[in-house]
Chains A and B, each alone.
Chain A
């Protein structure tokens, strides 16, 4: 959380130098951008292209057929609905577990704090497929496979670390004396929570919710072992379409899948800078 947004400081012109060195810098920048963006470009083109095979530089024609297929053949609305429902559930569960945990870790002296943190981070550090294997066995035992709740619970294991990390830092940044002031002013814990803690923690909370949403929405490995016909998500549907040999349909679904991530990226760019998350809290 100590990193400050790179673009925040005053820009200094001399940094890029002049002439040859500037040319070099721009060349590398361009190469990097192309490298990062080219897969997205490929998917975008693929989703509207007709006859774009082999060594062709440009597709033979443009069409919206693949989106049509995606919507009608693979029942995209329902799949999308599943993705949203599961993401929503994941947010709810992650916050329900994560907020009290983060409060305890951030504001109370917790014994074995580091061990707890490691434990929370564990699902993110082991190979996903290993974790998924164990998880699927449990889920079959508890009859959680192919339920929205089940998939959401699986996603929660990945989202929870985000929530705990972001929120414990946020809560840690709350000034105890300001909360003290709230109590002295006569606010009971509920009023102070609603009127003081919540607004002061809002930037962090927003970040936690958005990250949780994207984590769930984009999750693949754990979904693969917990989904069923009723809980098919966008990522799994993309995968299945690739398996079926419909690269164009898969691309069309991917484009839909990308929308929330891109929206989030824009939001982050605009709103959630590290200094806002903490700055909104430290006050003074």
Chain B
């Protein structure tokens, strides 16, 4: 297999804390893989091992077929876009972008030309003479982007590049990165805690927690068929219902909680009959029932507790029992009043059941390399 970036059994510890616990990941040529997880999950540590800012305690890092584990950062030939932009404050925008060329001994006229070309690519032509502090956050990150791609590295790494930008700019920059990648064809690892960013930008997503990759797969895969309870909970802001497994077939699990039954598809960690189980329900798979429920829907009773007007829709908080409340977004064509009792239909494909409090083998299994 010809992977562009490969992590093999990478371990990084900080004292007693294991930041990366046997990470295995192979990123193909031209692919963008996201390391997705909450802060402290080890995704940034993993990235810093790839850039060479950190040396892994165990394991190898291979870039473009070359083992770079012991190669210093400046010889790894990679581009990195930083969260805080990390521009050189004393250099103009043009000199910032030209710096990688300058240290590679490219002559002034040539590097000026190439830096200008890179600035054109990120649509900053004409701002080359400015200093970083004279630019807006979005512009600064474009400079960071231009600096990362100017020497045409095979690998461009992104370390939460959008988290210092406001919501509107984030969307814009996301587009920018996607189109740049399409045009230039570099291979990327992209670190973020923002699931929307990950889902929209990635070819594949590696969901991380506690230094372990829980699942690697295409966005539709990790979202649609989460392998572990963590992945199901982390992605898509699901509703949850905890109860006992009362029925189980090959592809169906029925869980009962407070007298309500819900049919779910089985996750990798399927509960046995009689075992405690948790069901994660995608909000978009839940609707207000009118008429009969179809065969692949479960019906649940709920009471409207609260509503919040969101402009294009309204979010309702629904109580299924004393300690279970779900949220549900409805368009304005359906109106519920607080205190009203409703019947909900939950589509089975959007419900996934996992055993609760049982084995912890979920992590170690899904760490196996080359998931797809």
Residues of A at under 8 Å CB distance from B? 175, 177-178, 180-188, 191, 195-196, 199-200, 280-284
Q: Are B88 and A183 in contact (CB under 8 A)?
A: no
Q: Are A178 and B103 in contact (CB under 8 A)?
A: no
Tell me the bound Cα distance from A284 to B52 in angstroms. 24
Q: Enumerate chain A residues within 8 angstroms of B102, measured Cβ to Cβ.
A: 195
Q: How far is the CB of B83 from chain A (nearest CB, A)?
A: 8
Q: Are A283 and B100 in contact (CB under 8 A)?
A: no
Q: Enumerate chain A residues within 8 angstroms of B74, measured Cβ to Cβ.
A: 183-188
B328 at the interface (CB under 8 A from A): no
Q: Are B90 and A280 in contact (CB under 8 A)?
A: yes
Residues of B at under 8 Å CB distance from A? 51-53, 72-80, 82, 84-90, 99-100, 102-104, 132-133, 140, 147, 151
Q: Are A175 and B103 in contact (CB under 8 A)?
A: no
Tell me the bound Cα distance from A282 to B79 in angstroms. 23
Q: Are A186 and B103 in contact (CB under 8 A)?
A: yes
Q: How far is the CB of A183 from chain B (nearest CB, A)?
A: 4
Give the contacting residue for B82; candidates A177, A188, A191, A199; CB below 8 A. A177
The chain B residue with its CB closest to the CB of A201 is B90
Q: Are A181 and B89 in contact (CB under 8 A)?
A: no
Q: Enumerate chain B residues within 8 angstroms of A282, measured Cβ to Cβ.
A: 89
Tell me the bound Cα distance from A164 to B151 in angstroms. 38
Q: Are A181 and B80 in contact (CB under 8 A)?
A: yes
Give the contacting residue for A186; candidates B53, B87, B151; CB below 8 A. B151
The 5 closest A-B pairs by CB, nearest first: A283-B89, A181-B86, A183-B73, A185-B100, A187-B103
Q: Are B90 and A181 in contact (CB under 8 A)?
A: no
Q: Are A186 and B100 in contact (CB under 8 A)?
A: yes
Q: Enumerate chain B residues within 8 angstroms of A187, measured Cβ to Cβ.
A: 74, 99, 103
Give the contacting residue for B53; candidates A180, A199, A281; CB below 8 A. A180
Q: Enumerate chain A residues within 8 angstroms of B53, measured Cβ to Cβ.
A: 180, 183
The chain A residue with its CB closest to the CB of B48 is A180
The chain B residue with its CB closest to the CB of A199 is B90
Q: Can you name 18 A-B pairs with beta carbons within 8 Å?
A: A177-B82, A177-B86, A178-B88, A180-B53, A180-B73, A181-B80, A181-B82, A183-B74, A184-B79, A185-B99, A187-B103, A188-B72, A188-B103, A195-B102, A199-B90, A200-B88, A280-B90, A284-B89
Overall SS of chain A's interface = helix
Q: Are B90 and A185 in contact (CB under 8 A)?
A: no
Q: Are A186 and B77 in contact (CB under 8 A)?
A: yes
Tell me the bound Cα distance from A13 to B126 in angstroms. 42
Q: How far is the CB of A58 from chain B (nearest CB, A)?
A: 53
Tell me the bound Cα distance from A196 to B91 in angstroms. 9
The chain A residue with its CB closest to the CB of B83 is A177
Q: Enumerate chain B residues within 8 angstroms of A281, measured Cβ to Cβ.
A: 89
Tell me the bound Cα distance from A185 to B151 in angstroms. 9
Q: Are A178 and B100 in contact (CB under 8 A)?
A: no
Tell me the bound Cα distance from A178 to B96 in angstroms. 11
Tell me the bound Cα distance from A185 to B99 in angstroms. 7
Tell me the bound Cα distance from A282 to B84 in angstroms. 12
Give the contacting residue for B85; candidates A182, A184, A284; CB below 8 A. A284
Additional 5 contacts, C-beta under 8 A, given A180-B73, A188-B74, A188-B103: A181-B82, A185-B147, A186-B74, A283-B133, A284-B87
Q: Enumerate chain B residues within 8 angstroms of A182, measured Cβ to Cβ.
A: 88, 99
Q: Enumerate chain B residues within 8 angstroms of A186, measured Cβ to Cβ.
A: 74-75, 77, 100, 103-104, 151
Q: Enumerate chain B residues within 8 angstroms of A191, measured Cβ to Cβ.
A: 103
Q: Are B80 and A184 in contact (CB under 8 A)?
A: yes
Tell me the bound Cα distance from A284 to B133 in angstroms. 5
Tell me the bound Cα distance from A188 to B73 in angstroms. 9
Q: How far is the CB of A33 from chain B (nearest CB, A)?
A: 37
Q: Using known A-B contacts A199-B90, A280-B89, A280-B90, determine if residue A184 contacts B51 with beta carbons closer than 8 Å.
A: yes
Q: Enumerate chain B residues within 8 angstroms of A180, measured Cβ to Cβ.
A: 51, 53, 73, 80, 82, 86
Q: How far is the CB of A163 from chain B (nearest CB, A)?
A: 21
Q: Are A185 and B103 in contact (CB under 8 A)?
A: yes
Tell me the bound Cα distance from A200 to B74 in angstroms. 20
Q: How far is the CB of B52 from chain A (nearest CB, A)?
A: 7
Q: Are A184 and B88 in contact (CB under 8 A)?
A: no
Q: Enumerate chain A residues within 8 angstroms of B99, measured Cβ to Cβ.
A: 182, 185, 187, 195
Tell me the bound Cα distance from A178 to B88 in angstroms. 6
Q: Enumerate chain A residues within 8 angstroms of B78, measured Cβ to Cβ.
A: 184
Tell me the bound Cα distance from A249 to B140 in angstroms. 60
Q: How far is the CB of B136 from chain A (nearest CB, A)?
A: 12
Q: Are B151 and A283 in contact (CB under 8 A)?
A: no
Q: How far is the CB of A184 from chain B (nearest CB, A)?
A: 4
Tell me the bound Cα distance from A185 to B72 in angstroms. 12
Q: Enumerate chain B residues within 8 angstroms of A283, measured Cβ to Cβ.
A: 87-90, 132-133
Q: How far is the CB of B357 from chain A (nearest CB, A)?
A: 41
Most-contacted residue by chain B among A175, A188, A284 (CB, 10 A): A284
The chain B residue with its CB closest to the CB of A191 is B103
Q: Enumerate chain B residues within 8 angstroms of A184, measured Cβ to Cβ.
A: 51, 73-74, 76, 78-80
Q: Enumerate chain A residues within 8 angstroms of B75, measured Cβ to Cβ.
A: 186
Q: Are B87 and A178 in contact (CB under 8 A)?
A: yes
